[in-house]
Amino acid sequence: MQSIHWDPALIAKYNIHGPRYTSYPTALALQAPFESQTVRDTLLASTGELSLYLHLPFCHQLCYYCGCNKVITRHQHKADRYLDALEQEMALYQPLVAHRPIGHIHLGGGTPTFLTEQQLSRLMQLFQQYFDCSKLDELSIEIDPRSCSLEKLAHLRQLGFNRVSFGVQDFDQQVQITINRVQDTDLIRQLVQRAKALGFSSINLDLVYGLPYQQTASFQQTLDQVVALDPDRVSLFSYAHLPARFAAQRKIPEQSLPDASSKLQLLQMSIARLTEAGYQFIGMDHFAKPDDGLARAQQAGLLQRNFQGYTTHGQNALLGLGVSSISQVDGVLWQHQKDLPDYYQAIATAELPIAKGFVLSKDDCIRAELIAELICHFALDTAAFAKKWQLDFASYFADSLQKLSPFIEDGLVELQPGNIQVSEAGRLWVRSICSAFDVYLQQGQQRYSKVV
């Protein structure tokens, strides 16, 4: 990624508000009400390996920057009630997916490590009881270091977890204090070292750039510390300051945030430092060592993207469990109730807790595959694509190719007979490039974050 052109004119031109394309259409397209029978029919007719995502909403403490669906509480028993509801939900889904083996399970949140060792054990027993886990090869969890002792980490390994992601965000204390997420650097170091000793196959560290009081010098120190910890993957997310949507962000002083130019300097420095350290730039916000499964999948042309970001599993075979989770199976998207009371009420009536959904049209499926190829592999064999979908590429995407012309003129995209190639310089703007093929984008564009 040394070829990125940090041209102010290109930044002003292409740093638009745009989707992250964890799906196409995005979650904004989901509509209520949505018939649960559509979900049932889709799951029963589906085949092949399935991935599970489980949303655990609880956190002990509010992080001011966070825009996730969460419940702040110190009452551990609330997780017991949630597990009770999850068991009922799993029982509802079981007859619909009993014929499909589970290849990947990911626990996100919230704070999955809010759960105690006993609660985590119960959860794993539920997975084994209600799903076919005989082919499970990846079991991953997001970890808040403040809620994960060395003993809990060892317990996770005993339960079969083989991939962990530690939420670091920034090692700088002033940044941590301002976002209300103060965590001990030595603890993170010990957790990473212990995770390696325990044999976790992949260790990820999450960072966020654009946070209050971040400066190039201090964030350089954070990057150096990350490189020294030598994780298998690094996720580098852009902080989206949307205080009108997320009340907690109003606690962050506006004047403490880096301006647009400074934020881009943080990104530029991060890409340079991580690639210099030997990480492969997967795309957008993910870096991985060349021998990590994510990097190997991209090298082999098998990388996928779903609601968890870049992945090796479940692009169109993802079942979400728990409050607010989103599923995508065979061209059908659906999301569960976002609020716990509504979720509990649906479960109590033995109904799938579906709040809204969307069935992709043929055109949606075509564009979804095209966008996935560009965002995962930065290239598209247009001849093979046209043959697969039985269409004339130039005429079918005439409007999109016209929107793509500025990217071509600026050297960010190369359009050749039978091929679209995103240049090294264009990788930074792949979200903007994909937007040329998005027929929904003008509907609520400002609800998305800036692409960098």
What are the tens digits of pLDDT across the range 112-154? 999 999 999 999 999 999 999 999 999 999 999 999 999 999 9
Cβ-Cβ contacts under 8 Å for 410 (sequence gap 6 or more): 10, 13
pLDDT digits over 358-413, tens only? 999 999 999 999 999 999 999 999 999 999 999 999 999 999 999 999 999 999 99
Instruction: Give the C-alpha separation, 213 to 175, whole Å.
Output: 6
Tokens 């929904």 belong to which residue?
Answer: 440
Domains of the chain, start order:
1-22+360-452 (1.10.10.920), 26-319 (3.80.30.20)
Helix (H, G, I), strand (E, B) or coil at 430: helix
Does this model's pTM top 0.85? My answer is: yes
DSSP codes of every residue in 161-226? --EEEEEEE---HHHHHHTT----HHHHHHHHHHHHHHT-SEEEEEEEES-TT--HHHHHHHHHHH
CA gyration radius, the chain: 22
* Element spanning 364, H or E: helix 362-377
pLDDT digits over 310-364, tens only? 888 767 899 999 999 999 999 999 999 999 999 999 999 999 999 999 999 999 9
Average pLDDT over residues 157-166: 98
Residue of 227, 361, 231, 213 lying closest to 294 (CA atoms): 231
Q: Is the pLDDT of residue 429 over 50?
A: yes
Q: Is the pLDDT of residue 4 over 70?
A: no
Q: First CA to last CA across the chain, in angstroms?
A: 15
Cβ-Cβ contacts under 8 Å for 96 (sequence gap 6 or more): 39, 40, 43, 44
